[in-house]
Amino acid sequence: MQTHQLIAHPSHPPLEVSGIEARLRSDDPNWLRIRWRIDGVGALILPKIGTKARADGLWQTTCFELFVRPQDGGAYSEWNLSPSRRWNAYDFDSYREGMRERDVAREPDGQLHAGSSFVLFDAAIPRGALPRLPADVAITAVLEEEGGIKSYWSIVHPEGKPDFHHTACFAATIPATDAP
């Protein structure tokens, strides 16, 4: 299991959120599992839970994201996972080029667990839906808080505006195999 501290983009600080920790677990032969723990959630806006389905524009409110780029190429996939149970996956041929929905035979799953001062979001992505491994990954989140305040979280941020597609954000790795 890998644990990563996400940091807010300096140009978009959060209102009350004090930190995000992401745990990536790749030892399951069927699922890639990610847990985001958000602390300081008093003003966090969470979308209403609904039916699991594909949807666009999930990043416009609280959304958890994973970008996966095989180590032998420039093409990558983007996974958007909402606490609402909505999700989407896209493929890109190169940096922000050739965007199209990723063909996925089995849907990812996401579960929200709320405490008084923290929220856990557990996601599972079918390993068969992922690009080739080993892969570099960007583990990210967009958080919306009261008043429309949005913060953008990643392990690393490039200079300038928030850009999770930037190569600098691909700061973690999923090995080809990860024995327990």
Which pLDDT tens digit goes with each residue over 103-113? Answer: 999 999 999 99
Position 108 in a domain: yes
Of 53, 10, 31, the closest CA to residue 152 belongs to 10
For the segment 139-164, the average pLDDT, to the nearest whole number, is 97
pTM metric for this prediction: 0.94
Residue 38, Cα to own-chain centre: how many angstroms?
13
Domain count, the chain: 1
Position 141 in a domain: yes
Query: Using the 8-state DSSP alphabet, how is residue 178 labeled?
Result: -
Residue 179 has pLDDT above 70, yes or no: no
Position 88 in a domain: yes
Residue 180 has pLDDT above 90, yes or no: no
CATH number at residue 121: 2.60.40.1190
Q: Name residue, tokens 């599972």.
A: 124
For the segment 123-139, the average pLDDT, to the nearest whole number, is 94
Question: HSE of 147 in the Cβ direction (CA atoms, 13 Å)?
Answer: 7
Boundaries of domain holding 110? 2-174
Residue 100, Cα to own-chain centre: how many angstroms?
18
pLDDT digits (tens, 9 = 90+) for 58-80: 999 999 999 999 998 889 999 99
